[in-house]
Every structure is written in structure tokens, then in C-alpha cells.
Structure 1
Amino acid sequence: MNTLINNHENTNILDLPNEMLLAIMSKLSKIDVLYSLVGVNRQFDQLIIDPFYIHDLDFTRKLLFDDISPIDKQTLDRICGKILPRINDKVNKLTVEPLSIERIFHAVDYVQLNSLSFVNFSQEILLRHILDNAVIHRLMTEQITCLHIQVSDEVTSNFPVENHSNIFSLILFMCKNLNDLTFSHWFIGLGLTFFIYKLSSTSCVSSTLTKLRIHVNTFDDCLFLLDGRLESLSTLIINIVEIFNTSATIDNTKKLPKLKCFALTSYHHTSFYDSQIVPLLRRMSNLEELTLFLSVIRMESTYIDGIHLHDEILIHMPRLDKLMFSITTMLYNINAKIDLQSNDDIQRGFIEKEIYQVDSYVINDPSKLQQECHIYSKPYPFDVFFNLNSRFPGAKFNKVRWLIMRDGDPFENELFKIISQDFPFLKKLAIFNTAAQQNKRCSLPFITFLHLRELYVHLAHIDYAEQFLYERNAHLPCLSSLEIRYETLSILTNNFTNDAARANCAKLQRLVIKEPFAHPQYFHSYFPLLQC
């Protein structure tokens, strides 16, 4: 026994097999590994300065709430001065942010670089670098085949969205070898991206681009991208802020034979599914993969189900091999008396049309104006789940990170227990429900959300805030952000003096209270980690 103890105490990290060392390093930032371990000894150098390991370098730090920061100056100095000259011919992909970009690109030549990501840039700063920096300009025009651009801008009344020059069309013009582009340009506080369809008819032309991931404002923007100006496009993954009626000048009838993969996401409700989305999908005769995330409002109609999907859409896609979807239908049948499908009817319809691995739940309540049906693929393929209500039947949603609960009927305690088990990796939860719990007098089940970081209860009854913030009700080890009404918070904490919510509130680094209030005496001691 003593021999075993002594052997364990004398174990050195260098005694571990290379496979285990690589597994450990895969959990760490590559920049930290390069900074700390290159030059320590020959074994580490052989493992780290390996093309398979160092081909992709990310010069950013991921912070709480998905914020981005640069790496520190000391680390950047060592990487750029001592390490990049040894590995520059092995780097294929770089991720850079505004404060370190010049140093990174002036350190060495990246002769094998073909993939580049710009994150956390304003349009003005990014334009300056790609137009005025000769190294970056040359890379983009001659080498880059894969590009990721993340731009966000402030908008003022003197400089509205429409006045922003279009960096998207410039990128397509510059990058002569580009075949894969991910592009997002958001305007802070507006929840808007830029308008593509307002550009001239000669803008945004590319003969090489085959794959595009993009956020746009309107359905017109989507049709604009599919009008033939991207002549080699075979994959379009598009997130549309809002889908409404299109311009009469944009054609939504011409076939799209080159398109093989199409993914459409829109978080806002749309009333134009039948008139706009269905005609677009019917144009994709050679489609092999289809992904839909939609919330549809229908008037005097029936639910979108398997029979509808097959007869109205899929029958026009004979080569379709992969289908993933989450489609919520909200019905308002005011004048017509229509027999609505039950959940059993929905399931039978999918089986009849040979669409398998599908789940659904239906709310047919004659006492309410709105009826609702949610159909989705299994296993659930999306990281968001919207408008979960009190009729939720339960299922496993391991991929979901963001959940919105919304209902006019109360969410009882047992539902939260189910959710904590069915959404085990949830990071963001928003509750929209002003109805008080009916079974509050019953003993509350203790719930645990191991990964929950952000909680939004500003439009929820005080019962739901109590369910999560009181330590006797919930274990939230990662909670760091809370959005809540001041009155609710003051009542639950007894004006920031009781201990019931102190443990969960003490972890908060961000507190959002939209109405103005004066900080009472014990406010700051109740939230010691707040970033003011």
C-alpha cells in the first residue's frame, strides 16, 4: 500500500500518455496552451506544434453572457514574437477581434490561411482594416475561401440603418475565391440587421459562393439572395427577423435547381406562411436537406401537420433526404366552424405520410380564442424552444439552451420539476405568465438547474420568481443574470433584508430592472457581485 501511495505522489504530468495530454489540452484555450507550454520541453513542442492541433487559432476570450474580449498584452506579445514565427505556415484558420488584429497580421505571413473570422467589430473599424491594411486585403482577395463576419453598430437619429454602406456586397466583390460565408450585421438596441433588398440590382454578385449563413430583416431579403446573383449557391442557412408580405417586384416563382440545402429560422410570428413560405419551398425541386423553425398564425384554417407538409411541400422535393423542423401553429377560427386535429390525428398523419421521429402536442380549448399545435422533429435539433405552455407533455431536449415559457394558465410547481429534468443543459429561461399558481400551498418540489445562467421573470407573476430565487425551492449554481420588476424583487427579499433569496441573488453579476428606482440601504450587500 505504501508503495502505491509513493508512486501516486511521484507521478508527473509528463508520465501521462500523449493521448491523455492531448485530451487535457483540448479542454483548454489553444492560445493559453501555446503561451504556457511551447518551449517547456521537446515532448510538449511535438504535441502542440502539430498541424492538426494548431491549424485553427482563436485570438479571443469568451466571457460571461457571450461577450468577447481580447487576450492580454503579455500573452499576445509572446505569441506574436516567439511562437507565430514557428507555426505560421501551419495555420489555416484565424479568429480575430478589433484590439489585437493589427499585431496578429503584422507578426508573420500566413501562407496557408484560408479561413478567417472577424468578431465583435463595428462596420467602420472592419472596413478600415480590410481596405487599408495591405496584408488583410491581399489575404481576402487571393487566399480566403471561408469567411465569418460578426458586425454590430450603434445607430443614431443622424445616422440611421439605411445610411450604412453595405459591407456585405463589398465582401462578395473583394473575395474572388470565397465559397463559404457566415455574415451577421446587427444594430444595437434595434434588434435589426441590414436590408439587402434595398441594394442596387447589380450588388451582391458572386460566381464562387456555394454556402451562405446570414441574418436578414425581411422575407424580401431572402428572395433577393435567391434571384440568381449568387449563381453557385447550393446551401442557404438564413435567419429572418420578420416574415411579412413581399414586394410585388421580387419573383417568388422561378425554380432553384442548384439549391441542395435550405434552413429557414424566424422567431417572430408570421401570418404569411401559406402565401410566401410555401411557394418559396416549392421552388426547391432538388433540395436534399430542409430545416424549418417557424411560428405561424393562421386564420379560419387547420394546424400545419404531416399531411400538410407532405402534400403542400415535400411532394415537390423528390430528392429530400433530411428533414428537421419545429413549427408552431396558432389558430384563430372566429367565423368558421372547423374540426381541428387532435394530437392522435397529428401523429397518425405523420405515420401515414411516412414522416417518422416526430413529436407533437395540441391545445384545443373551445373556451379560448387561440388554439395551438406544436410539431417538431425528434431528437429535437434546435438550441431554442419557444412558447412552452402548461400542457407540455414532457420529453428530452438535451440540445436546448434557451427556453421561453408562455401561457395564460398557471405554471404549477410540478411542471418546473419536469422542465429541470427534460432540459438538463438549459442556460437561459424566460417566463411570461401573470397567472398565480393554484397549488402554491402544496410543498414545492426542489428543482435544480445546473447550467442556468440567465433568468427573465419581469413579465411573470411573483410566484415564479419565488419558485426560482428562494434557496429552499431551487438550486441554481450558475445563475448570474436576472431580469425582474423592482416591486417583485423588493417583496421577495423583504426590501433586501431577508435570507430566503440571498444565496441565489448573491451570485448575480447582472441585474436588469427596467423601471427607475432608488437603491435602498441594503441593496448592494444583497448583490455583492453586481457589475455596476
Structure 2
Amino acid sequence: MNTLNNKNINILDLPDEILLIIFNKLHMIEMFYSLVNVNQRFNRLVLDPFFIHHLKLTIEPFLNDNSSVNNEIFDPIRTKILPRIDDKVTKRTIESLSMSCIFDTIDFTALTSLRLVNFQSEILLQHLTGDNILFRLLTNQITQVQVNICDKIREISDGNELNIFSLILSIGKYLTDVTFSQWWLDQDVRPFENDLFKIISQDFSFLQRLSIDNRKSQKTKQHSSTFITFPHLYKFDVSNAHIDYAVEFLSDKNISLPRLTYLFIEYDTLATITKCFTNDIARRTCAPIKALIITEGIVRP
């Protein structure tokens, strides 16, 4: 068939390259539900290892008040599709809803990377402390994990985020890469305290780059009894952080950065903590720096 001269082009007439572009625009649940088992060609394209190695089955947009509709969509994915691709999936993006609806059905033997997105703190804590597939995966095979916590209201107790971070580090025997972020929808942002940095320095002793994005002042400003060292940290970014974090890291009273080479910081913050560049302690900490990136313009006299 000459498709160029035919106004009624059939999707089956399109080459694989165009079909893959189209499929890539679809949500994976849409793709699995609508295209798998249509024909052998669609199966080959949709279930190709390169295409599905990162499995993103976020289900919230597809939830319906009618449970029969939900079962019609999710049951075939759980029972017929996921078992076929178990050994092809190396990365999973999981939200709280898909944890129980889809995630617990398959072991995912090849999985090494997890993205846990839009979890409420209390829900994630329950999954991390129970005997479930998430706990087993973190214990036995996951090397990379990204955690995104999103709480609608501030109901959790202080320190819950620290408990989550500590739990992941304690059960993740093979972790080499951890990203942890927390969002409050009511803009009630919580400061990072010294205990969190102590845990990071102990569990990530080879950490080389650290960026702090938190405009909330620390509650605890007294000097810690435990001196913290980041022996390999060479790149430090506090350009979008409250001055308290620059003071804690650069004053050489609580934290040592012996290999600090690149510093990203606001000019006013740097001028304040160095007392207009006359503070010997701060100057000693900043002495190894080779590149100073100022994020605000300097008004010269």
C-alpha cells in the first residue's frame, strides 16, 4: 500500500520508528492496557527491553470510583503483563497507590534502581518497617534509590524524615546512590538539623558533592559535641539555602571540609560569615577553594 497517497492511513502501516515515538507519548498503563496482545508486532515493540527497562506505573490518573473499571484495567497488567517482563525491568518508579495495587505482585529479579515518588511520610515508614517486597528489594538488590516525600499537612512528628532516611540506609545493604527530597504542600518547610548531616557523613563517607536547598532557619544552633568531617567533599552549594547552613559548614566549628574546592554561595551570606572576609576561622575553611561561584551581583563602591 502506498500510504503517501492514501488519506486513510492505518496505524499498522507506520514504520516501527514512528510507532515507538507514538508509544513513548503514552502513559505505560495506557500502553499496556491498549496495545499488548493486539498483535505480535505491537507486543514486540511495547515489551522491548530497551523500551520498558524503566517501568513507570503511576496509577493515580487512572483510578475510578468504579472498582470494576479499576479491576478491568489493572488485573491484566498484574497477572499477564508484569510476569512477562519481570527479568527486563531494571528501574521502577513507584507511588504510594501503585505499591499495593501493582508493585506487590512481582519480585522484579533484575531491579536495581527505585524511585519512590509522592509518598506521605507515615505511609512510607509503614512500607519500610513491614515484611513486604519493598523491604526485601532494598535489603537484597537495590543499589540506587530516589525518595520523594510529599505531605499535604504537617501531621508527622519531628524527626520522621530522619527515621526514613536512617531506615533506608540501614536496610539498603547494596546502596551506592541515594537521593532524598521532601516537600510540604502548605509551605511549612522544616529545617535540616545537625543530626541529619551527621548521618550523611557517616553513611556516605565518600560523598563528593552536596547541595542544600532549604531557606528555613535551623532550630538548633549550638555547637555539636560531635565534630563532623566530609573528607572527600569537594563541591558544596548553599546558594539557595539559609545562612545557618553556610555558617555550620564553613565556620570550622562543627564541620570540616578539608577538600572543598568549589563553593556556590550568595555574596551577602559569604560576606556575613567571613565578617567581610576578615574572619580567620572561615578564611581557613575556604583556603583550599579554587572556584568561588557567587550567585548574586556584587555592588562595588
Tell me which interval the TM-score lies in, with the shorter structure as reference length: 0.7 to 0.9
Letter in 2 for 1:128: Q
SS in 1 for 2:21: helix
Indicate which of 126, 129, 150 corresponds to 2:127.
Answer: 129
Instruction: Look at both structures and tell me which one has the larger radius of gyration over its CA atoms.
Output: 1
1:292 is matched with which residue? 264
Shift, 1:125, TM fit: 1.7
**Aligned positions of 1:436-451 closer than 5 A:** none
SS in 2 for 1:237: strand
Per-residue deviation, residues 362-386 of structure 1 (Å, max 9, x unmatched): xxxxxxxxxxxxxxxxxxxxxxxxx
Letter in 1 for 2:37: G
1:233 is matched with which residue? 207
Distance 1:165 1:261 in 2: 24
Aligned-residue Cα RMSD (Å) equals 3.9
Is 1:341 paired with 2:300? yes
Shift, 1:293, TM fit: 5.9
Distance 1:253 1:127 in 2: 27
**Aligned positions of 1:341-360 closer than 5 A:** 341=300
SS in 1 for 2:207: coil
2:47 is matched with which residue? 49
Distance 1:136 1:173 in 2: 14
Closer/same/farther in 2, CA of residues 271 and 303 from structure 1, 3 Å limit: farther
CA contact (8 A) 1:296 1:327 kept: no
Shift, 1:178, TM fit: 1.0
Distance 1:6 1:271 in 2: 65
Per-residue deviation, residues 85-127 of structure 1 (Å, max 9, x unmatched): 1111111111122222123233222000111122222222222
Shift, 1:32, TM fit: 1.9
Distance 1:76 1:242 in 2: 42
More helix by share: 2
**Aligned positions of 1:498-513 closer than 5 A:** none
Q: Tell me the number of residue pairs that the alignment of Structure 1 and Structure 2 aligns.
A: 284
**Aligned positions of 1:379-394 closer than 5 A:** none
Shift, 1:6, TM fit: 7.4
Letter in 1 for 2:198: F
Per-residue deviation, residues 294-319 of structure 1 (Å, max 9, x unmatched): 473556x9999xxxxxx99886146x
SS in 2 for 1:9: coil
CA contact (8 A) 2:118 2:149 kept: yes
Closer/same/farther in 2, CA of residues 292 and 35 from structure 1, 3 Å limit: farther
Shift, 1:240, TM fit: 2.8
Distance 1:22 1:221 in 2: 48
Closer/same/farther in 2, CA of residues 234 and 38 from structure 1, 3 Å limit: same
2:288 is matched with which residue? 316
Distance 2:160 2:231 in 1: 35
Give the TM-score taking structure 2 as reference length.
Answer: 0.75
1:213 is matched with which residue? none
Indicate which of 63, 77, 91 corresponds to 2:75.
Answer: 77
Distance 2:267 2:196 in 1: 17
Letter in 2 for 1:172: L
More strand by share: 1
CA contact (8 A) 1:146 1:178 kept: yes
Q: Which moved more, 1:41-50 or 1:123-132?
A: 123-132
2:174 is matched with which residue? 177
CA contact (8 A) 1:116 1:147 kept: yes
Q: Which has the higher contact order (CA 8 A, sep 6+)?
A: 2
SS in 1 for 2:295: strand
Distance 1:296 1:97 in 2: 40
2:104 is matched with which residue? 106
1:455 is matched with which residue? none
CA contact (8 A) 1:70 1:100 kept: no
CA contact (8 A) 1:220 1:250 kept: no
1:92 is matched with which residue? 90
Closer/same/farther in 2, CA of residues 190 and 161 from structure 1, 3 Å limit: farther
Which sections of structure 1, spanning at least 5 residues, go unmatched? Answer: 62-68, 194-216, 305-310, 331-339, 343-532
- Identical pairs, percent: 33
Shift, 1:36, TM fit: 1.5
Give the TM-score taking structure 1 as reference length.
Answer: 0.45
1:259 is matched with which residue? 233
1:8 is matched with which residue? 6
Letter in 1 for 2:62: I
Shift, 1:39, TM fit: 1.3
Per-residue deviation, residues 462-504 of structure 1 (Å, max 9, x unmatched): xxxxxxxxxxxxxxxxxxxxxxxxxxxxxxxxxxxxxxxxxxx
Is 1:143 paired with 2:102? no
